[in-house]
């Protein structure tokens, strides 16, 4: 498709590029780990729980910026796969998520593939460019969150 035929503003092209880049990132990550039966969204949750130990379901929702219903649906799928368990804590409301042994093993098995995918995505980008990109993305997020 000839991209010059579209009458988009610079900001429209930028936002389109952000969407396209993140779609491609998600698609290629899912392709890389597809044989494991785990999706990129599930990997994100596995990784967060691995690093935070027991994690409240509401904290996952807030950190990821995802609606609680969507997190609940993903967690239900992960629970059926035997990757996580939801437990009640006596001194806290809501459910806490913990990795099962199968989930911990999946995290170990996928860590290298995910790291390789990230290295490929960011290769040839100098540290200053990566920091600038992170700063810009954080500013966009703050701009949109300020309402």
- 3-state secondary structure at position 138: helix
The DSSP code for 79 is H
Q: With 60 as the cut, is the pLDDT of residue 2 above it? A: no
| Tens of pLDDT, residues 14-68 | 999 999 999 999 999 999 999 999 999 999 999 999 998 768 888 899 889 899 9
Cα–Cα distance, 19 to 15 (Å, whole number): 6
Tally of CB atoms within 10 A around 84: 25
Angle at 36 between CA 30 and CA 40, to 5 degrees: 30
- 3-state secondary structure at position 90: coil
pTM higher than 0.95 for the full model? Answer: no
- Percent of the chain at pLDDT exceeding 70: 93
3 pLDDT band, cuts 50/70/90, is low
């Amino acid at each position: 498709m000839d991209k010059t035929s579209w009458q988009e503003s610079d900001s429209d092209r930028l936002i389109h590029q952000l969407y396209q880049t993140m779609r491609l990132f998600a698609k290629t990550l899912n392709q890389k780990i597809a044989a494991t039966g785990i999706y990129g969204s599930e990997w994100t949750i596995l990784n967060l729980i691995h690093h935070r130990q027991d994690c409240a379901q509401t904290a996952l929702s807030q950190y990821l910026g995802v609606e609680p219903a969507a997190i609940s649906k993903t967690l239900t799928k992960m629970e059926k796969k035997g990757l996580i368990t939801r437990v009640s804590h006596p001194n806290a409301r809501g459910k806490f998520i913990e990795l099962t042994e199968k989930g911990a093993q999946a995290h170990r098995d996928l860590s290298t593939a995910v790291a390789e995918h990230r290295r490929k995505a960011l290769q040839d980008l100098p540290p200053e460019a990566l920091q600038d990109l992170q700063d810009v993305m954080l500013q966009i997020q703050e701009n949109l969150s300020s309402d």
